[in-house]
Amino acid sequence: METHGEERVGIVEDGGLRLDRALVVLFPDLSRARLQDLVRAGQVTRDGGVVRDPSLKIAAGTRIVLDLPPPSDPVPEAEAVDLVIAYEDDDLIVVDKPAGLVVHPAPGHSGGTLVNALIAHCGASLSGVGGVRRPGIVHRLDKDTSGLIVVAKNDKAHHGLAAQFADHGRTGPLERAYQAFVWGTPHPAMGTIRASLARSRHNREKIAVVSDEVGRDAITHYAVIQRYAEASLVRCKLETGRTHQIRVHLSHRGHPLLGDGVYGAAFRTKAARLPDEAKAALTALGRQALHAELLGFAHPRTGETLRFESALPPDMAALKAALITSL
């Protein structure tokens, strides 16, 4: 539970509403998304009992207590963090992000993020569109995913890049490709995974494949690059960019990423079948084997097509070498 701050109390007048919607009526100064987060964090009680499901239907006359945590300093500070810069000009910067680096401040990661490093590197030139916690951030990579990410330095660049990401490259040159090591070999060796995604109802930290009526459309194109004894190297191209999309889609097909403790936990016993060298390389990896190798887009000011590639980082390259040796 978050720390205690202001306590707010309300009585539900209209029965049958979802809890999050009832909260919006009671506390209209807070956004529905913020209220949902507070519910999941255990900051809301219903007639004295903690409730964590925002979709729970609430009866008329129910007494709701909201424990609103005190505000924290929303402004990230500049921090000296080494960055590998693939490209930079007055409008944008392309960074080759290492695994383990969080993109922007969030609960549990108030510092040491890419945003903190960019503030130190770029000063006040970052776009403000993303807000104080996410200045310049147009898209994200998971903490443990390595590879290329573009950040806007001004609002015009931010709007131009964001429009391209929203269009998913359907009418422009936006291109994103990843390399991933997966368990087994997908069949067919080249194909498209189209499965809608949404936050899991059972575990809010996970994304799940759901019906089209419930989730957001998600499309991943894949091709097997190389087969190994127990695994394969796969290239994935995104047509949409949902949270954890590649990890969830491949797991849904029965081929979770090596090292993925969230979506590939059931495959941990497969690691025991690997030769010692490959097993050691996977242990040393300590993360999902996913790398953003390719990023292409139109420059938001000049219209020039920019395209960047990033080689596998040392930990994934070592895993690849060990898997090849095991053949």
With contact defined as beta carbons under 8 Å apart, do 190 and 222 qualify? yes
Cross-strand pairs, 67: 7
Chain centre distance of CA 250: 16
Active-site residue, from 20, 67, 91, 142 = 142
Burial class of 116 by CB neighbour count within 10 A (0 to 12, 13 to 18, 19+): buried
User: What does DSSP say about strands 290-298 and 146-152: parallel, antiparallel, or unpaired?
Assistant: parallel
- What's the alpha-carbon Rg for the chain, to the nearest Å? 22
Task: Kindly report the length of the chain.
Answer: 327
What is residue 71's DSSP assignment? P
Q: Is 276 a catalytic residue?
A: no
Q: How far apart are CA 111 and CA 183, in angstroms?
A: 34
Residue position matching structure tokens 């910067």: 93
Q: What are phi and psi of 222, to 5 degrees?
A: -135, 160
Q: How far is CA 175 from CA 140, 149, 236, 307, in A?
A: 15, 12, 11, 8
Catalytic residues: 142
